[in-house]
Structure formats: C-alpha cells, structure tokens
Structure 1
Amino acid sequence: MSNAEISPRKIIQQERPTPDELVPSRYAVQVGEIEVVVISDGMLTPPAESMATNANPAERGAWLDERFLSKEAFDWALNAVVVRSGDQTILIDSGIGEEYPDFPRAGQFGHRLEAAGVDLESVTDVVLTHMHFDHVGGLLVEGVKERMRADLRVHVSAAEAKFWKSPDFSLTAMPPALADLARKASLEFMDMFGSHLRTFDEQSEVAPGVVVARTGGHTPGHSVVRISSRGERLMFGGDALFPVSFDHPEWHNGFEHDPEEATRVRLRLMKELAETGSWLVSTHMPFPSVGRVAAAGDLYRWVPAWWDY
C-alpha cells in the first residue's frame, strides 16, 4: 500500500455516549502494522496573541478574522496519542490533567482514554515530546501512577530532563502564572516518575518502527516521534507545528523557549513531511489532527485527511 492509500479509520463511539462525549474524541490510523489512536484532551484557550507574539497586531487580527476566530482567546486543540506496536502500548504525552480554572474545557484525557479501551495497566512506555504542563499533566492526576506498571519506561530527551532542573523562561511570552505552573508540573513529574526515565541524546527506538528524536526549538529537548511500518509513515509533531505555522512559520509562539530555533525546526519538519508524504499528527492542530503537508510556493499548506466513517 502506498502512502496515498493509507486510510484513517474512526473508532466507533460508545453505544450510549454521555453528554460530554457527544463530540468525537478519538480517531485511529493504521500505519502498516502499527495502530495509532489520537485522543482529545479537550481544548485550551490561551490569549490569542500568544500564537504570534512577534506579529503585527493588525496582521494577526486579519488572520484570525479570515477564519472567524476570536481575537481574544484562541482555541487550541489538545491531542495525545496511543501507539500499539507489537506487544508494546506507548502513550505519547498525556494532556493537561486536572481541570485548571483558566482551561475548563481541557482535562478530558483520563475518561477518554478509558472510553477508547486503553487501560493504564497496559501502557508499557510513555514518550514525552517535552515537559510543559499540558503534556505531562495527565500523568500527575491522583491515582494514575498507582495504576501503571512497575516496569514502566518513560522516554524523554536528556536535554529536556536537564533543562527543567533550572528552566529559563526569558525568551518566552508565557504569563507568570503559566510559567509557575510549568515549573511546578515538571518538578512534580520528575519527583513522581524520575526513577522510570530512559533518556536519550538525539534519538531512540522505543519499539519496532517507533523512533523518538530530539528537535529542540520549542524547548531545548523538544522531540517528535516518527512511526513507520511497511513503507507507511506518520509523525507526531508535538508542539513543533501549530495551525498558524503554515501561513506564517516566522511567527513566534509565546510558549517557545527559543523562538528563532523553533522557526527553523518547523520549516525543516514541514519540508521533510512534504517530501516524504508522511501523515502528521500534532498536539495543537484541530482534532483529529490527521493530515499531510504539501509545498505551496515558498511555504507549505496543511491538507487534513478526509474522515473515514
């Protein structure tokens, strides 16, 4: 089967959905022999300017207006992924965890994971693209660690683990409250899961066909996960790519710890994706965040997959 023939398939919803499950919250893609399930943790609503802190306000406003989006709070999807390769079940990121007052629409990951038929006891590996609170928070919820295996392996780049021992927020535009939350979540995570860490320098094979590789940029140890099987490919891009990245890759995201490097990273990844025809799934692309990247002159465009019902 060629890349063009790969067909995402939607996981059947529960027979009698509860009110908060009236919208789709999980979607599966078969990549060769590897199953990838995208699970929505809900929506974040940070200030709209945080998606383009170095943009001209009028130009940023025009971009939002063209898409009928608010100029006050920008809706960001929050996606995590479960990968099944051989006898391994791999969780890539974990959402925000408990509901925060500023993000009441997020924090759905726990019950949506269960609704997708994934037991925490079955998870053999966790891969963290980076350690921001909306990526590690789901693992910090009370009672979660107790349900996970004693031999759980948590994969994160060595640069990321080192960074959060003394994080530098000087180049970000994160509100102080969110910076404090990021520090707290990373420390709590390291205290809770530090003994399970399996760090790597540049890249590591987590399972057959599942490779995590450091990109840097968004955080010093930010990583992506490349999945390949039988000639088919999918990349989980973490926070390297955002919806606005395709029109304005030069716009800085307020959560980037090295904005200039983050721009170089996303351009490099978009070039790779366009050349290989790989599927892309990213944390903050609109759910189910399954699509491809195509060249568009000097830039790139996002081509979402047709939903498979």
Structure 2
Amino acid sequence: MNLHNTSHLGRPGPEELVPSRYALRIGEIDVLVVSDGVLPLPTAMLAHNAAPAVRAAWLNDMFLPADAFDWALNVVVVRSGEQTILVDAGLGLDPELHLPRAGQLIKRLEAAGIDLGSVTDVVLTHMHMDHVGGLLADGVKEQLRPDLRIHVAAAEVKFWEAPDFSHVSMPPGFPDALRATAKRFRKEYQSQLCTFEDQHEIAPGVVVHRTGGHTPGHSVVRLASGGDRLTFAGDAVFAAGFEHPDWYNGFEHDPEEAARVRIRLLRELAETGGLLVATHLPFPSVGHVAADGDAFRWVPVFWDY
C-alpha cells in the first residue's frame, strides 16, 4: 500500500463534507495525517496561567469564540520499509463522553483503505484517552495483529500506575476518565507494550524520543529520509503555543517543564526548517515554525493536491 495515494481513495459521505486525511512523503517514508475529529473544550484550557483579558484578546485576534472551541484531534500513519506504524490512536467512541464529533479514526482509516491488520506498530506519544481510546473501541482489538508492537516510554507506563493531577486545570470529570481509560488500556494491552527509556528507532528513519513535560513519558516521533524531516509533536505544541509558548495547557501534568519542552522543540524546528505535525493543531496540521522575537510563528504548508 502506498499511503501517498490514499488521499484519493473513498469519497466523503453526507455526514463528512470536509477532507479528513492528507498524504505527504518524507523522502522514502509515506505519511498520512488522519483526523480523529474535534474535541470541544473551554477556552480557559488554552492558558490557565494567562490573565483572562489577555487570553480573550488572543482568541478575538484569531477569530475564535470566547467560551469554547474545537480542538483538533490528529493522528499519523507512517509507512517505512515493510512496517506500517500508527502514531497515536485517537479518542475512540465512548457514549458516556457525549463527544459525537470525535472518535472518527477507525472509520476514517477504513475509508482510506488502511486495514487495521496491516499495522505492525503503534507508537503512543502518551496515554491520555484521546491518544489511546481508539484501541479500546468495540471490535478493534480483534482486527489487530497478534504480534502488534505498542511502543511507549517506560516513564509513561509507570506514571499511570498512580497519576498525579495536582498541577492540571481540567474540566470536571476528566481526571477520573483519564485514569479509567489508562487503567483499562494497560489491562487490555499489557502483553504487547514495548517500552523504551529515552529514544527508540521503530523503523528506518522513524525514531521516538521521550520529552516529558506534558506527562512524564510524553514523546515525539521524528521522521527523517532523503534530507526531509518531520516531527509529530503530540501534545507538546498547541494552537496558542507559538505566540505564547509559556502559556500552560490545562492537560499538562508538569506545566513548567512542558513549557520548556515546547520552547526547545519550537526553537529546534525554527532552526532546522523541519515540518511539524501535532495532535491539536488545525487539520492537517502540517507546517513550519518561524522564530518571531522571543516567540514563534506557525507557517502552514500550501496543500498539495
């Protein structure tokens, strides 16, 4: 299967009027960004350490609503050599969450012509429910290969044995939901977890690096082939983080360290010119980072189609 061609497979149904996948190549590596939908959250989640008036001004400048807006949910499928790698697994479909526009990954992979049984590896940037929930959706595990390898930082697995939520700023109910999902995920997939300490090469040109910050085991995935570079940053970068890299995301378990990780990553990308994709940047979330004084500027790529 050539992922570069899957953007032409299937057609949106009546309920899907916009594109939900975007294909590109990093040297000899095929990459497909797939939208898992959107997650509506209070705007205070963007920056709970910012003054409300400052946060409101940023939202106004971005033509965003003042009270709540839709956070994108993006995952990436990578084909390198003989391996097909799913980076993160989306939210899944949990009727108790009342999030009908999220959890779209499985049907969108099917629409793209990607058979779950062809996935050889899963890489988890971390174990929040919007990154592991797709693997817990009904009927998914039965479609996966019995020898599937799920790569995750050892520090992440350890953290979820007794997670610390003392520094987060989440809406009510989210900590309990996150704990429950991580516990269920560990129970379902414990035998297939392949843990690493700081970094691990998953396939030729595909390396996962632990950054910490957002969670203790939060990781980014770096692709490199033929002089091209792309970083899937997970939750290290979000929409407000370019102009305000010191703003704290409400889901960060160590917000001070998360800000340091974000600044280092954005500075590196601005210097190298490598492409960036992140979970919660607007789909398809492919672009460059430019330095802008002490902050940064997001430069989306021109779509290639």
Q: Distance in 1 between matches of 2:241 and 2:6?
A: 29
Q: Do the aligned partners of 2:287 and 2:300 also contact (CA within 8 Å) in 1?
A: yes
Match of 2:101 in 1: 105
Q: Does 1:262 align with 2:258?
A: yes
Match of 2:290 in 1: 294
Match of 1:59 among 54, 60, 69: 54
Deviations 1:80-115 (A, max 9, x none): 010000000000001100055442211111100111
Q: Does 1:154 align with 2:146?
A: no
Q: Distance in 2 between matches of 1:155 and 1:37?
A: 19
What letter is aligned with 2:159? F
Q: Does 1:41 align with 2:36?
A: yes
| 1:117 Cα deviation after fit | 1.2
Q: Do the aligned partners of 1:9 and 1:307 also contact (CA within 8 Å) in 2?
A: no
Q: Does 1:278 align with 2:274?
A: yes
What letter is aligned with 1:252? Y
Match of 2:17 in 1: 22
State how many pairs are aligned.
302
Q: Do the aligned partners of 1:10 and 1:308 also contact (CA within 8 Å) in 2?
A: no
| 1:9 Cα deviation after fit | 6.9
Q: Measured at CA, do residues 204 and 12 of structure 1 come closer, stay the same or move farther in structure 2, by a change above 3 Å?
A: closer
Q: Does 1:221 align with 2:217?
A: yes
Match of 1:182 among 157, 168, 178: 178
Q: Do the aligned partners of 2:4 and 2:32 also contact (CA within 8 Å) in 1?
A: no
Q: Does 1:87 align with 2:82?
A: yes
| 1:20 Cα deviation after fit | 2.3
Deviations 1:131-161 (A, max 9, x none): 0000000000011011101110000000000
| 1:66 Cα deviation after fit | 1.1
Q: Measured at CA, do residues 276 and 16 of structure 1 come closer, stay the same or move farther in structure 2, by a change above 3 Å?
A: closer
What does 1:114-129 align with in structure 2 at a 5 Å threshold?
114-129=110-125
What letter is aligned with 1:39? V
What letter is aligned with 1:91? L
Structure 1: runs of 5 or more not aligned: 1-7
| 1:11 Cα deviation after fit | 4.6
Q: Do the aligned partners of 1:99 and 1:106 also contact (CA within 8 Å) in 2?
A: no
Q: Distance in 2 between matches of 1:26 and 1:98?
A: 19
What letter is aligned with 2:288? R
**SS class of match (1:45):** strand
Q: Measured at CA, do residues 30 and 299 of structure 1 come closer, stay the same or move farther in structure 2, by a change above 3 Å?
A: same
Q: Which runs of 4+ in 1 moved over 2 A?
A: 8-17, 99-104
Q: Distance in 2 between matches of 1:200 and 1:254?
A: 27
Q: Do the aligned partners of 2:4 and 2:30 also contact (CA within 8 Å) in 1?
A: no
Q: Distance in 1 between matches of 2:101 and 2:66?
A: 18
Match of 1:4 in 2: none
Q: Distance in 2 between matches of 1:78 and 1:27?
A: 14
**SS class of match (1:149):** coil
| 1:19 Cα deviation after fit | 1.3
| 1:295 Cα deviation after fit | 1.0
What letter is aligned with 2:282? P
Match of 1:68 in 2: 63
Q: Do the aligned partners of 2:4 and 2:31 also contact (CA within 8 Å) in 1?
A: no
What does 1:168-247 align with in structure 2 at a 5 Å threshold?
168-247=164-243
What letter is aligned with 1:34? I
Q: Do the aligned partners of 1:10 and 1:26 also contact (CA within 8 Å) in 2?
A: no
**SS class of match (1:110):** helix
Q: Do the aligned partners of 1:51 and 1:252 also contact (CA within 8 Å) in 2?
A: yes
If the length of structure 1 is used for normalisation, what is the TM-score?
0.95
| 1:212 Cα deviation after fit | 0.3
What letter is aligned with 2:168? T
Give % identity: 63
Deviations 1:26-66 (A, max 9, x none): 00110000011000000011111011101100110111111
Deviates more, 1:96-105 or 1:77-86: 96-105
Q: Distance in 1 between matches of 2:233 and 2:268?
A: 12
Structure 2: runs of 5 or more not aligned: none
**SS class of match (2:224):** strand
If the length of structure 2 is used for normalisation, what is the TM-score?
0.96
Q: Distance in 2 between matches of 1:132 and 1:247?
A: 25
| 1:174 Cα deviation after fit | 1.5
